[in-house]
A and B are shown apart, each in its own frame.
Chain A
Amino acid sequence: MARDEELVAEARAGSRDAAAELFERHWARAWKVAYALTGTTASAEDVAQDSFERAFSALETFNGRGAFSTWLHRIVVNRALNVRRSERRLVHVDVGEERARAEVPPGDPEVAEAVARLPVDRRTVVVLRYWLDFAPGEIAAILEVPEGTVHSRLGRALADLRKELGPT
């Protein structure tokens, strides 16, 4: 089976089959990342589709020093955060309304609500780490921050959540 980087090289040379294979390998994960960060099917569709379009139209700027999946997920995360920011600029949404609007069924409503109240940088690392299973090093590469920053944001997020959720 061809490696992603080989498929990228073929896609750059114009191979639609290689590009389709890249899409096939990464679509579901990219969509889930978009869904976890935006909370609605409609936004996840827009973000995931737009991210692939951006990635494929800019394939020549991918130099293969990092993984294609990291590069793609960086685009997805940035697009998802931009969508959330745009929505917030248009309409003030409080946590209760946002939760009611979100289609992601929370496994534990109290924890989900506490996560939703975190500042965006902390919420992003919590979602990527605990709900999408990215390693701290991967999160650092996706967010373009040092790994130490990921750990400090996670530490601050856990401290915030501990205050919110109490001693139990």
Chain B
Amino acid sequence: MNDAELEQRLIEARPAIPAPPARVKETARDAALSSLRGRGRRGLLLGLAAALVLGALAVPAALGVGGSLLDLLPLGGEKEQEQFRAACSATAVQVTFDPAKGAAVTSAGETLAFAGFGRHEIADACAPLPATRFASPYPDAAFEDLPDDGLYEAATLTCTVPGKVEINAHPIWDGTIGRVAGSVLLVLRGEPPRALVSAVLKEPEPGASPGTSRIYFMPDVCRRTR
């Protein structure tokens, strides 16, 4: 069966999807229009979002990431879609992920990188690599070893690496809302680089991007320890 035949079979297998019931539509319309009026609720949600951002900014200190780090992402301006890369020496790295706060990469007790919802940092102990803008420096093949399904819960991973890793940190630019909606922290090894870990941090914000923070990791190389 070639692709065209399989695609045709898929189209023919399309389930019958009925029209939504009228009673549901009325209820949903009333609820939606009420939320349009609900300025009080919106104010509350924005307050929560602000608290989350402040929480994310507080995380680096809690993780031991101090002022010696290179601040790689001032929010706004032309850096909004910039990809930052650095090479770090390590034989094993630990990745700590909390979907509500951020992700950190450490090696031998030293924090190499951190990513929160709107900010990411890489330690100046790592050697900066050329940054790129608006496009990933990696082909899709760099991510083939990662599974399609990510973890959506807090986790700690330990990954064995061959003396050096590449760390990439970049913002997630959401064009529909016109601002940075999160960030991605990648750990890669080898030449050409292959991704071992990809942590996606996104704000649990109402609207365009409901909370979808998650982490993907190469199971042959990284062991989950928590």
Q: Kindly state whether residue A94 has any CB partner on chain B within 8 Å.
A: no
Q: Are A49 and B28 in contact (CB under 8 A)?
A: yes
Q: How far is the CA of A105 from the CA of B19 in the complex (A)?
A: 14
Q: Kindly state whether residue A53 has any CB partner on chain B within 8 Å.
A: yes
Within 8 A of B (CB), among A107-166: 107-108, 111-112, 115, 119-122, 126, 130-131, 141, 144, 146, 148-149, 152-153, 156, 158, 161-162, 165-166
The contact size tier of chain A is: 35 or more
A12 to B: closest C-beta gap in Å: 9
**Prevailing SS type, chain A contact patch:** helix
A contacts, CB < 8 Å to B? 11, 16, 19-20, 23, 27-28, 31-32, 35-36, 41, 44-45, 48-49, 52-63, 65-66, 70-71, 74-75, 78-79, 82, 85, 104-108, 111-112, 115, 119-122, 126, 130-131, 141, 144, 146, 148-149, 152-153, 156, 158, 161-162, 165-168
Q: Are A57 and B172 in contact (CB under 8 A)?
A: no
Q: Are B176 and A74 in contact (CB under 8 A)?
A: yes
B204 to A: closest C-beta gap in Å: 10
Which one, A52, A74, A78, A82, contacts B31 given CB within 8 A?
A: A52
Q: Are A162 and B17 in contact (CB under 8 A)?
A: no
Q: Are B210 and A82 in contact (CB under 8 A)?
A: yes
Q: Kindly state whether residue B109 has any CB partner on chain A within 8 Å.
A: no
User: Which residues of chain A are within 8 angstroms of B36 by Cβ–Cβ distance?
Assistant: 11, 16, 19, 56-57, 59
Q: Are A49 and B208 in contact (CB under 8 A)?
A: no
Q: How far is the CA of A54 from the CA of B41 in the complex (A)?
A: 11
